[in-house]
Structure 1
Amino acid sequence: MADPDGHFLAVRQQLRRNPVPQALPEIIRSCDAILICVPTPLGQHREPDISYVLETGKSIAPFLKADSSKRKKLVVLESTTYPGTTDENLREILETCSGLIAGQDFHLAYSPEREDPGSAEHSVKSIPKVMGGYTPECLSKCVDLYSIAVDEVYPVSSTRLAEATKLTENIFRCVNIALVNELKMVYGKMDINVWEVIEAAATKPFGFMPFYPGPGLGGHCIPIDPFYLSWKAHEVDTRTRFIELAGEINQSMPQYVVNTVTKALNQEGKSLHGSRILILGLAYKSNIDDTRESPSFALIELLALEGALIDFFDPHINTIPKIRKYPKLEEKKSVNWSKEVIAGYDLVLISTAHDAVNFDELGRWANIIVDTRNAMASVAESNAKVYAA
C-alpha cells in the first residue's frame, strides 16, 4: 500500500520488520500517515500480548507533531486486537509520549488487516477495508487514505466496532473449523467420509457454507485472535463458551492425527517407535511458505516424543526458520522429492496439500499415507495404503 511518494509502504514494511524501529525518524517526519502492523500474540496463559503495539506507539509518538504544513498526522492500527486497544491503550501511549491530544493534534483510527495468503482471487486491493476513527474527523482522514489503495472502504461508527469486526471474522472461522473437525471424528467412527458429506451439503444454495477439517489450526490469526475476545469478555463478567470449546477441539487435532498414524502403522505390523515418518507440508496452508502456528510442528513434536524419526518435505520451504516454540527444529532442511527418498519412509503424513506436490507420484512411491487434507481423493491409483485423519 503506498501514497504517491511511497511513504506509507516504507513505514508499514519497517514496522513489520522491527516493532521498535531504529531508522524511521526521518521517514515518519515526512509521512502524513503511519500504519502499525505488528504481531499481537498470546502470552503463556492465553492472555493478549499487545506489547508490540505499545512499544511501536512509544517509538513513533515523538514524531507525531504536525510539520510546517500544519497537516495533522494519521496513525492507524491494523493489528488484530480486542475492542478498546486503539481508543484506550494505544491512544494513552501516543498522548503520554508525545504531549499531544488524539483527535486534536493528530488523527487516530483502526482498520484491521484483511488478506488471504496464497489467493489469486482476493488481493489486498479488492478486499473491502473496514475502518473506525477515534473522532469523525479521524475516520474521514482514514477513509481518504485507504481510498487511494483499495477499491472499497467501509467506515463504521467507532474503533471498538472495527476491532470487534475483525475478531468476529476470525472467531466465525475458528468455530466452524472446530465443528467440521468434530464431525470428522464422529463420522470417521461411523465409516462416513466427512469430505464427501461437506461436498454434498455444499450443493445447497442457501444456509450452508463449507468449511474443511485438518490437522489443527495454523496462521497468525485463527489460532490466536478468538482468545483476545475471551480475555476481554471477563471484564464484563461473561464467558465465551463457544470460543473455548472450539479452541479445545482444534487444539486436540494434532493428537488425533498422531493416534491415527499409530493405528495405521499397527495395521501394517509396525510400531510408531523407531518408524521413519515424512511430514508432507510444513506451511500452515497450501501454496505459501508461512509457517506461523503451523500444526505441522505440533505433529513433529508429538511424533518425536513417541520415538518416531521425523523428516519433512515442503516445496515452498527449504529450511525451517527460527521458531520460538520449537527451537530444536531450526535450520532443519527439507528432503528431496524422489522415488528413492519417499519409498524410504514407513509412512508419509500429509499435513499441508500444496499444488506443487505430485500426489500421483506419492501414491505410487509411498508405503503408507495418512491424509489429513483429502489430497489423495483425486488419485486414481495408489500402491500405498491410505488412511484418513
Structure 2
Amino acid sequence: MPADLAVIGLGSHGLPLAQAAVGAGVDTIGYDPDRARDLASGRLPGTGAEGALTAADVRRMLSGGFRPTADPRELGRVRTAVICAPAPAGPSGGVDLGPLAEAARALAARLRPHTTVILESPAGPGTTEEFLRPLLESGSGLTAGRDFHLAYSPGRTDPGNRTHGYAATPKVIGGLTPACTESAAAFYGRLTDKVVRARGPREAETVHVLETNYRHVNLALVNEMAVLCHDLGVDLWDVIRCAETKPYGFQAFRPGPGAGGHGLPLDPSCLPHADATPGNGLRMVSLARDINARMPQYVIQRATQLLNEHGKSARAARVLLLGVTYKPDVADQQGAPAQEIALRLTERGASVSYHDPYVPHWSPAGRPVPRADSLYEAAAEADLTILLQNHRTYDLQGLAVKAQLLLDTRGTTPAGAAHRL
C-alpha cells in the first residue's frame, strides 16, 4: 500500500517526526528492523531512545494509521523518505556513519524517480553530498537533483519540552538544488508553522554543527565555573540567578554531572568521510568535549570528599543515584553521565543502587544495578544520595530531609538543604 512518507529510523528523531506526520494526516510508515515489531504491537522497545514518547502515544499513532515495518520493500512505495538513522559516537570520538549507510542502502535499492529524500540524522558539512548522495545514486541508478530530490534538515526535537513542540519549532531546509529545497519545504510545511530555507545542504548541516556545539561549549563554560566557584566558596546558582537578569548578551546554562544527549560535539575537520572540510579545526569544541567529559569524575571526587568529611569511605559506602536519564522527565539515557558515575563508584568498592521513575531496569556496561523500590527508605538508608537528574516527580525538600547526605549536581534543591555541585 503506497504511503506519503517513510521515516527510516524510529529513534529519538524518527518517532517524533512520525508522530507529527500522523497527527497532520500524512499517511506514514516507519522502517526500523530493530524496533518495528515492538512498535507495531503498541510497545516501546525499551531502549530509552524514544525520547518523551510513551506506549500510549505509539498506540494513538497506530490508530491514526501509522505502520511500523521491518520490510525494506515498503520503501519503494513512498513519495517522501526521511532518514533519521542514529549517528552514535565512533571509536575516535567522531560520528559513526555506519547506521546511516545501512539506511541509505536499504532505501537506494527501492528508490523511485521523483521521490524526495531528506536526511535528518546528525551530520557534519558535506555528509549529504559526499556520503549519502553516492550511496543513493550507486544503489538506485538515479541521479540526485535530476531524478529525485535530496535535502538536509537538522533535527531539532527536544524530548520532554512542553513549550516548543514539533509544529512550533521552525525547520531549516537545505536542498541540493532549488527544486530540492522547495520539495522538502513543501513536505515540512505540512508539519510545522515555519520553514527556513538555507542556501544548500552544507549550510543546513552546519546549522546542526553550530547549534550542537553552542550547547556543549556553554555547558563546558558553566561546568568549569562550577568547579571554580566550589573552590572559591561562591554560590554559583546565585551567580547564575543574578546574571540571567541581564536583558541582552547572556543566556543562562546550568552545570551538571555531564552533557549527555544525542547531539555530539562535532569538529568538521574530523569528518569520517572523504573530502572532509579542510582548514583549521574547532579547538573550542575539543576543549569543551574534554571539560564535559571530566564532569563525571568530578562528581566522584566530590562524593568521596563528602563521605570522608563525614567519617566514611567510598569503599563499602551505600550510594543511591537519583535520575539516570540524560534529561528530566524522559526515559532517554543516551550519553547520560550516570552510567560512568555508577561504574566508577562500583570500582571504588561502593554499593550502588538507583531510582528513576522512567527506568525500570538499569545495566550500565552490562552490569545490573539494583533499583530502589521505596525512594525515601532508600535515601534514609544510603550513606550518600546523589541527585543526577531532577525529575519533576521528586520532592527535593522531602528528599533533603530523609537523606543522610545529599549531593545535588543540578542545583535544584532548596538553598542549604544539600551540598551542591
> Does 1:334 find its partner at 2:371?
yes
> Does 1:275 find its partner at 2:346?
no
Matched with 2:211 is: 169
> Does 1:29 find its partner at 2:71?
no
Runs of 4+ in structure 1 off by over 6 angstroms are none
Matched with 1:229 is: 268
Relative distance call for 1:16 and 1:85 in structure 2 (3 A) is farther
**1:4-23 to 2 correspondences below 5 Å:** 6-7=26-27, 9-11=28-30, 14=32, 17=35, 22-23=70-71
The CA distance in 2 between the partners of 1:248 and 1:54, in whole Å, is 29
Q: Indicate the structure whose relative CO is greater, using CA pairs within 8 Å and at least 6 residues apart.
A: 2
1:74 to 108, 116, 121: 116
Matched with 2:186 is: 144
Structure 1 residue 339: deviation in Å?
Answer: 3.4
Matched with 2:334 is: 292
The CA distance in 2 between the partners of 1:179 and 1:10, in whole Å, is 42
Greater CA drift, 296-305 or 42-51: 42-51
Matched with 1:69 is: none
**1:152-167 to 2 correspondences below 5 Å:** 152-167=194-209
Structure 1 residue 333: deviation in Å?
Answer: 4.8
TM-score between the two structures when normalised by the length of structure 1: 0.90
**1:76-95 to 2 correspondences below 5 Å:** 76-95=118-137
Matched with 1:375 is: 412
Say if 1:277 and 1:349, in contact at 8 Å, map to a contact too: yes
Relative distance call for 1:173 and 1:198 in structure 2 (3 A) is same
1:13-57: CA deviation from partner (whole Å, max 9, x where unpaired):
637847xx741313x232100000011112111132111111111
The CA distance in 2 between the partners of 1:29 and 1:123, in whole Å, is 30
The CA distance in 2 between the partners of 1:193 and 1:184, in whole Å, is 9
**Alpha carbon RMSD of aligned pairs, Å?**
1.9
Say if 1:311 and 1:334, in contact at 8 Å, map to a contact too: yes
The CA distance in 1 between the partners of 2:146 and 2:375, in whole Å, is 64
| Amino acid of the structure 1 residue aligned with 2:90 | G
Matched with 2:225 is: 183
**1:197-208 to 2 correspondences below 5 Å:** 197-208=239-250
1:192-250: CA deviation from partner (whole Å, max 9, x where unpaired):
011110110001111111011000111111xx2x2352514975131321011111110
> Does 1:45 find its partner at 2:92?
yes
Relative distance call for 1:15 and 1:94 in structure 2 (3 A) is farther
The CA distance in 2 between the partners of 1:156 and 1:227, in whole Å, is 20
Q: Secondary structure at the match of 2:413?
A: helix
Relative distance call for 1:341 and 1:141 in structure 2 (3 A) is same
Q: Secondary structure at the match of 2:295?
A: helix
Q: Secondary structure at the match of 1:375?
A: coil
| Amino acid of the structure 1 residue aligned with 2:89 | L
Relative distance call for 1:234 and 1:241 in structure 2 (3 A) is farther
| Amino acid of the structure 1 residue aligned with 2:419 | Y
1:100 to 136, 139, 142: 142
Percentage of pairs with the same residue: 34
Matched with 1:254 is: 296
Relative distance call for 1:15 and 1:147 in structure 2 (3 A) is farther
Gaps of at least 5 residues in structure 1 are 67-71
The CA distance in 1 between the partners of 2:178 and 2:90, in whole Å, is 34
Q: Secondary structure at the match of 1:227?
A: coil
| Amino acid of the structure 1 residue aligned with 2:137 | E
Structure 1 residue 2: deviation in Å?
Answer: 2.1
| Amino acid of the structure 2 residue aligned with 1:64 | L
| Amino acid of the structure 1 residue aligned with 2:397 | D
The CA distance in 2 between the partners of 1:264 and 1:290, in whole Å, is 29
TM-score between the two structures when normalised by the length of structure 2: 0.83
1:67-125: CA deviation from partner (whole Å, max 9, x where unpaired):
xxxxx100000011111111111000000010111111111110111111111101011
2:251 to 202, 206, 209: 209
Q: Secondary structure at the match of 1:298?
A: helix
| Amino acid of the structure 2 residue aligned with 1:2 | A
| Amino acid of the structure 2 residue aligned with 1:363 | A
The CA distance in 2 between the partners of 1:264 and 1:108, in whole Å, is 55
Structure 1 residue 63: deviation in Å?
Answer: 1.6
Q: Secondary structure at the match of 1:132?
A: strand
Say if 1:348 and 1:370, in contact at 8 Å, map to a contact too: yes
| Amino acid of the structure 1 residue aligned with 2:107 | I
Matched with 1:388 is: 420
Say if 1:315 and 1:357, in contact at 8 Å, map to a contact too: no
Matched with 2:109 is: 62
Q: Secondary structure at the match of 2:32?
A: helix
